[in-house]
Structure 1
Amino acid sequence: MASTLVLSPENEALLTYQARVGRELIHAPGPDFMDRCFVPGSRTPQVLRSLGAIYNHGRLSGTGYLSILPVDQGIEHTAGASFGPNPMYFDPENILRLAVEGGCNAVATTFGTFGTVARKYAHKIPFLVKINHNELMTFPNKYDQILFGSVRQAWDMGATAVGATVYFGSSESNRQIQEISAAFEEAHALGMATVLWCYIRNNSFKTNDKDFHVAADLTGQANHLGVTMGADIIKQKLPENNGGFPALKFGKTFPAMYDQLSTDHPIDLTRYQVLNCYAGRIGLINSGGESRGATDREEALRTAIINKRAGGQGLISGRKAFQRPFAEGVELLNAIQDVYLDSRITLA
């Protein structure tokens, strides 16, 4: 389709890059993605219907791409810190309004938010209930994802999907892996889809000069584990570096991971994440990151272009949208979606 999307010179430069790993190895998003990648597998007709409800909603309906609004920061980062920039979002109905008017495929938020407005919005947009959180009220802070409710509770609210976070690499990860694997099994039994935030968390993964929490090799392996746990969609931070395993001197590596399957270019780093989502059979959505103010739009477009050209399926972007005036939030979500609707922006 023709597009009026205007890109900065830096983002325009991303459109011509050719990836190290060829696109022929990737199960690319597209209108037939569910038929190609989900139907041959073990998902039941009820789960397929839930996935279809997500993939066929909003401005990206039927494209194979996803735009999801996530707002769980009221728990994760405190409500005051999250909604202080725009206090209208203390009222949870405005979160749902933003997702609907922003043309999103789904809205991901908490039991508390959905519990106050579920009956009014369950038929208007697919619900993705985040079932665990890092509460950050314990002092000193500890970093652990704990369940805030049950899968059945999410189902009763009308949820199309449940979401959860695992902190891979943390001392609590074994419990989280078992806990969320069981939750995803129950969600699938009830006919819901599943989304996993595959985050890395260990203080030893951050050195004086580099943060390997966003390394392609570590995050890629977290993605691979997440698919194995039964996730239908993987959420991951955009990679910023590589070589975490050799630098930290743990894990198993092979030279091709770094010199044949990737480079230091962000599209290659992200393609390695896609490869670890079983070559894209399970969709990768990257997070939009924190709001920085004036640069948010270009940063969001950059992330979307990298994700799309790498073979990812979309963005799950929250703070850049809800920490600004409502109309501007809608415009930013639409701008992200326009990347996935723009025929100039192709698989690298």
Structure 2
Amino acid sequence: MTPTVKAILDKYEGTSAAVKGNLSRILMQGRLGGTGKLIILPVDQGFEHGPARSFAVNPAAYDPHYHYQLAVDAGLSAYAAPLGPLEAGADSFAGQMPTILKLNSSNSWATTIDQAVTGSVKDAVRLGCAAIGFTIYPGADKIFDMIEEIRALREEAEAAGLATVIWSYPRGGDLSKDGELALDVGAYAAYMAAGLGAHIIKTKLPTDHIEQKDAVAAYKDGDWSTMAKRVAHVRQASFAGRRINVFSGGAAKGTDAVYQDARDIRDGGGNGSIIGRNTFQRPRDEALAMLDKLVKIYKNEE
């Protein structure tokens, strides 16, 4: 374990040695191992958006083994997916890559802003996962049900020695579309995930928009002109940087935009990227080249 990783883990007071061990598995894995930076490959889009929308542009990606192998060959920190895709490659790739079992999922036809629980902590233990993952939608009508679900699942995961990753994506209620990515809302979402006991927090990169009228005064004297400064504020909201923050890669975009996001995350003190569509929707060689450059950015080599 490097001094950097030890310093991160020392901030997780009240956390069992088993959970810290699994966090260390992720933090010490791959080409960013020991740096305190992470790149995680999440592949839940087939469930969330549909297989053709997710994989038709790169048909090899219909196969769950493709994503396992991509994460291994790129030297990433972890691979996150729902139950079925992880089961489909668990034996072939056992021990090669820390995995995160995403325990809830939605689909593109849903009329409510909610997700169904689609896996269990027992599944995560059986599959040798390092962590569970769970999405909450702050602002949604069902948010309190989601909070109660993750409270119970996190408690069970802690008892089993697994870390918890919370995807905290504000939407619903009185939030405007711009508000979903607003700086004040994103910081609030990160704090809420930290408050629920997340060991790793996943949020979206925020804009400089301030959504909540009651928050305008608190933000009016700040300089939020750059993404790096906004990332730093989200880190501040995550218990003053005591929790690991990774930021979503979002919808497919150009390579320059992906690289700039990583530089902004790095410069703002974020812990890295959780990036899916922007890699697996590209041909394998292009995806590996992109991930190689992202690693170099986080290692301050680019």
TM-score range, shorter chain: over 0.9
The Cα shift of 1:31 comes to: 4.5
Alignment correspondent of 2:32: 60
Residue of structure 2 aligned with 1:79, choices 11, 35, 51: 51
Q: 2:154 is aligned with what amino acid?
A: F
TM-score, normalised to structure 2, is 0.95
Alignment correspondent of 1:130: 102
The Cα shift of 1:203 comes to: 5.8
Matches within 5 A, 1:1-348: 31-39=2-10, 41-138=13-110, 141-202=111-172, 204-206=174-176, 211-246=178-213, 252-253=214-215, 255-260=217-222, 262-292=223-253, 295=254, 297-342=255-300
Sequence identity, in percent? 33
Question: Are 2:210 and 2:216, in contact at CA under 8 Å, matched by a contact in 1?
Answer: no
Paired with 2:45 and 2:218, the residues of 1 have a C-alpha distance of: 38
Paired with 1:331 and 1:225, the residues of 2 have a C-alpha distance of: 35
The Cα shift of 1:254 comes to: 6.5
The Cα shift of 1:154 comes to: 1.3
The Cα shift of 1:135 comes to: 2.2
Paired with 2:38 and 2:103, the residues of 1 have a C-alpha distance of: 20
Q: How many positions carry a matched residue from both structures? A: 301
Question: Are 1:73 and 1:82, in contact at CA under 8 Å, matched by a contact in 2?
Answer: yes
Question: Are 1:145 and 1:167, in contact at CA under 8 Å, matched by a contact in 2?
Answer: no
What is the alpha-carbon root mean square deviation over aligned residues?
1.7
Deviations along 1:166-198, one digit per CA (max 9) or x if unpaired, are 000100000001111211111111111111111
Q: 2:142 is aligned with what amino acid?
A: E
Per chain length, whose mean CA-contact separation is higher, i.e. which structure has more relative contact order (CA < 8 Å, sep 6+)?
1
Task: Tell me the SS of whatever aligns to 2:220.
Answer: helix
Paired with 1:206 and 1:256, the residues of 2 have a C-alpha distance of: 20
Question: Are 1:75 and 1:134, in contact at CA under 8 Å, matched by a contact in 2?
Answer: yes
Deviations along 1:53-80, one digit per CA (max 9) or x if unpaired, are 0000011011011011111000111111
Paired with 1:278 and 1:258, the residues of 2 have a C-alpha distance of: 22
Deviations along 1:240-262, one digit per CA (max 9) or x if unpaired, are 1231111xxxxx437343313x4
Q: Quick check: which has more Rg, 1 or 2?
A: 1
Paired with 2:286 and 2:33, the residues of 1 have a C-alpha distance of: 22
Question: Are 2:191 and 2:237, in contact at CA under 8 Å, matched by a contact in 1?
Answer: yes
TM-score, normalised to structure 1, is 0.83
Q: 2:282 is aligned with what amino acid?
A: R
Question: Are 1:283 and 1:313, in contact at CA under 8 Å, matched by a contact in 2?
Answer: yes
Q: 1:161 is aligned with what amino acid?
A: A
Deviations along 1:283-341, one digit per CA (max 9) or x if unpaired, are 1111111113xx2x211111111111111000011101100111111111111111111
